[in-house]
Amino acid sequence: MATFLYKLGRLSYRRRHFVALIWVALLTLAGVGAASAPAAGNSSFSIPGTEAQKAFDLLEQRFPGTSADGATARVVFKAPSGEKMTDPGNKATVKETVKELSDGSEVVRVTDPYQAKAVSKDGTIAYAQVSYKVSGMELDDAAKDALQDSAQDAREAGLTVEIGGDALQAVPHTGSSEIIGIAVAAVVLVITFGSLVAAGLPLLTALIGVGIGVSAITGLASALDLGSTTSTLAMMIGLAVGIDYALFIVSRYRAELAEGREREEAAGRAVGTAGSAVVFAGLTVVIALVGLSVVNIPMLTKMGIAAAGTVAIAVLIALTMVPALLGYAGRKVKPMGEKGKLLGRAKKQDKPAEPAKPNLGTRWASFVVRRPVAVLLLGVIGLGAAAVPAASLELGLPDDGSQPVSTTQRRAYDLLSEGFGPGFNGPLMVVVDAKDSDDPKAVFAETGDEIKGLKDVVTVMPAQPNKAGDTATITVIPGSKPSSVTTENLVHGIRDAGAGIKADTDANVLVTGSTAMNIDVSEKLNDALVPYLVLVVGLAFLLLIVVFRSILVPLKAALGFLLSVMAALGAVVAVFQWGWLSGLMGVEQTGPVMSMMPIFMVGVVFGLAMDYEVFLVTRMREAYVHGEKPTQAVVTGFRHGARVVTAAAVIMMAVFAGFIGSSESMVKMIGFGLAIAVFFDAFVVRMAIVPAVLALLGRKAWWLPRWLDRALPNVDVEGEGLRAASGDKDGERELVGG
């Protein structure tokens, strides 16, 4: 592989005009496609195999034209202080608003609060429910504008009016903090390279890669039903890995220049050595992201595949466009040890090969190998303490109650809770399929009576049968808020009661609605976590055996990852569920952790953790193979790789942290979780626990059974093929890392 990538790097350097033209053309093509495509909305949500989804599908069959998955809006009215919604003036305003809401072409029906008895007991709050033919993603802007205009007219008449439901779903925005994250990355690159040109290359290539990936996602959003969150997460991951991969190759290029090689040769060797590590690091990220498809949740599968595609583009750009741009930069990218005037450094010294004073990476690694037990215990105990809150992890999906208080959806949620109780925001829809029963009406009545006898039930609406009379819907209002454990227990209680009704009457009782769907999603994700871990970690473990030609090193890498991801989950629980530092993070409402968070974090963090493992440990292996003692090989790896890996980790943390400013709670939570996970993994696991474990294991760390050594393919990550081909005599020269 190293030889092939070496040739690719030299070719890209020589044919830089052609390579640059190809990537610019791809960016232009993707941009044109994105500009001409329909705007992305929120992806339609389906969970194959769950009871809630089966009930939705049944409603589509038995209640044709009702659009079970159509958008809904709850227009909530509150009377001025000292007045009631039943006062003639207020009642007339509501009646006029209901009439205006009914005029839309996409409106199926609007309930009148006074006919539907949707007025609170104290008479101060009422609501009208608007049902639409299409989902919130497909709802026209004109329909949304009409909804808001009607509410505004009622406000001008003196009422407090807020709108809940999914009809006004907005595309999330990330805010200025995303720009700050990129700015921090730029500062770190300038400090690392001491040159604006060298620092600009990773940023430029990463932005081009993300531009192509996100534009492609935007262009295909309508055809493939990709939500706006998909492109945001692809941008987040693509930026982070794109900057890091280019950083490693530029650093390796400067190291080759410092050894006296010509620039084209240095570009070829940079791609042949550090590029090999980029390929395998990218593969682990792609495996982890594509592996999300095993959960069988279409939205999560699309998010994973889209992000994996962006990572693949980042790898290709690092292998081709980076050497091409190095050709354009020429002497403006200086050899390692020679800084530009930007940081006030002198020109290249006569003997730049080895500084007299050991660098920080060397000093830290020497400290760790002298005290491996103490460092190992401190690292493991520290991560274990950070992971403690994870034991209290509660999973759920966001509802309007998790929205910022500045939104009308959240204010409508609070008004409904005030007037009708917290459970009113998460009504359960019970679908009774009595097609095979002798007396459907009796079954509907029996089902309602059974549900009334369950705990935490406030209201059971009368059954609403379809035209055929064989299927009915029953609306159940819980006493607790939608995301509570009590409501989850009620859903299971209704389903248990339905099993008894099925045995007696052959009728199927299914529970659906957004609350039940959220519960089913959380349970499905929990059930899929262990198989996903086995698949992803297993495949990556085999890949790392090929890379490191060792059993214990990949095993140590996987165990270290589990430590870092558990600590990161603990931090997420502490902030988003317990409320620690919530003000600093902009978390206005604490509650259950996003049910997708653990499995998504496992996938992404595992791939990113293996990046640092590959970049850092391949240099240690190369030193060990060339005769250094195991502890000295650890120090050598840190001498050449610690600075760059540290810069890469800080950059990745900055990029992820930039998404904490998002208005989308899922993006905010994932941005924080990934940023803290990279911190734990890079600075505690890879920089402390890994060298301590390798120092304790000694030569055993690099043990591999002979039969397996013969069976494994030689991928030559260390670049031995380049050494042999060039006839280098200095077997101790650096070939990996940078």
pLDDT at position 274: 83
Distances from the Cα of 139 to the Cαs of 143, 161, 210, in angstroms?
7, 21, 29
Nearest to 668, CA basis, from 547, 582, 555: 582
Q: Rg for the chain (alpha carbons), in Å?
A: 30
Point out which residues pair with 127 in neighbouring strands.
Answer: 76
Q: Which long-range contacts (CB under 8 A, 24 or more apart) does 150-156 make?
A: 150/75, 150/97, 150/100, 150/101, 151/75, 151/97, 151/408, 153/96, 153/97, 153/100, 154/75, 154/77, 154/93, 154/94, 154/96, 154/97
Residue listed under structure tokens 């970049």: 615
Mean pLDDT computed over 160-188: 73
Given pLDDT bands bounded at 50, 70 and 90, which one contains residue 176? low
Q: Which long-range contacts (CB under 8 A, 24 or more apart) does 575-583 make?
A: 575/672, 576/669, 576/672, 577/389, 577/392, 577/393, 577/394, 578/389, 578/392
pLDDT at position 568: 92
Higher pLDDT, 312 or 713: 312
Task: Note whether 314 and 238 are within 8 A (CB).
Answer: yes
Q: Which DSSP string do the residues of 401-451 spell out, in sequence order?
A: GGS-TTSHHHHHHHHHHHHH-GGGGS-EEEEEE-TTSS-HHHHHHHHHHHH
pLDDT at position 339: 56
pLDDT at position 655: 79
Residue 458's SS3 state is: strand
Task: Note whether 428 and 516 are within 8 A (CB).
Answer: yes
pTM: 0.76
For the stretch 242-294, pLDDT in tens is 888 888 898 888 888 888 889 899 898 889 888 888 888 888 888 888 888 88
Mean pLDDT computed over 605-621: 79
Higher pLDDT, 728 or 485: 485
Higher pLDDT, 418 or 596: 418
Give the DSSP letter of residue 119.
Answer: B
Mean pLDDT computed over 71-92: 90
In this predicted structure, which of 40-54, 304-318, 650-664 has the lowest mean pLDDT?
Answer: 40-54
Residue listed under structure tokens 């492609």: 216
In this predicted structure, which of 40-44, 335-339, 710-714 has the lowest mean pLDDT?
Answer: 40-44
Task: Please list, in sequence order, all residues whose beta carbon lies within 8 angstroms of the beta carbon of residue 469, skipping any fewer than 6 positions away.
Answer: 440, 441
Task: Note whether 662 and 398 are within 8 A (CB).
Answer: no
440, pLDDT greater than 90: no
Structure token pair of residue 291: 């592996």
Task: Note whether 447 and 474 are within 8 A (CB).
Answer: yes
Given pLDDT bands bounded at 50, 70 and 90, which one contains residue 389? very high
370, pLDDT greater than 70: yes
Nearest to 266, CA basis, from 329, 185, 317, 340: 329
For the stretch 302-356, pLDDT in tens is 888 888 899 999 999 999 999 999 998 888 888 876 655 554 444 444 444 444 4
132, pLDDT greater than 70: yes
169, pLDDT greater than 60: yes
pLDDT at position 609: 76
731, pLDDT greater than 50: no
Residue 478's SS3 state is: strand
Given pLDDT bands bounded at 50, 70 and 90, which one contains residue 539? confident
- Whole-number average pLDDT of the chain: 82
For the stretch 446-470, pLDDT in tens is 999 999 989 889 888 888 888 888 8
pLDDT at position 78: 93
pLDDT at position 730: 43
Residues in the chain: 738
Give the C-alpha separation, 165 to 159, whole Å.
19
Phi, psi of 207 (to 5 degrees): -65, -40
Give the DSSP letter of residue 574.
Answer: I
pLDDT at position 387: 93
In this predicted structure, which of 175-179, 544-548, 619-623 has the lowest mean pLDDT?
Answer: 175-179
Given pLDDT bands bounded at 50, 70 and 90, which one contains residue 138? low
Structure token pair of residue 313: 């583009």
pLDDT at position 722: 67
Mean pLDDT computed over 197-205: 85
DSSP H or E run through 225: none
Per-residue burial over 420-435, b if 16 or more Cβ lie within 10 Å, else e, is: bbbbbbbbbbbbbbbe
Give the C-alpha separation, 385 to 394, whole Å.
19
pLDDT at position 341: 52
Higher pLDDT, 665 or 553: 553
Give the C-alpha separation, 160 to 412, whole Å.
10
Cβ-based neighbour number of residue 109 at 10 Å? 11
**What percent of the chain is modeled with pLDDT above 90?**
19
pLDDT at position 550: 87
For the stretch 493-534, pLDDT in tens is 999 998 888 888 888 999 988 888 888 888 888 888 888 888
For the stretch 563-612, pLDDT in tens is 998 999 999 999 888 888 877 777 767 777 887 788 878 877 877 777 77
18, pLDDT greater than 60: yes
pLDDT at position 728: 46
Number of alpha helices (DSSP H) and beta strands (DSSP E) in the chain: 24, 11
545, pLDDT greater than 50: yes
Higher pLDDT, 122 or 103: 122
Given pLDDT bands bounded at 50, 70 and 90, which one contains residue 736? very low
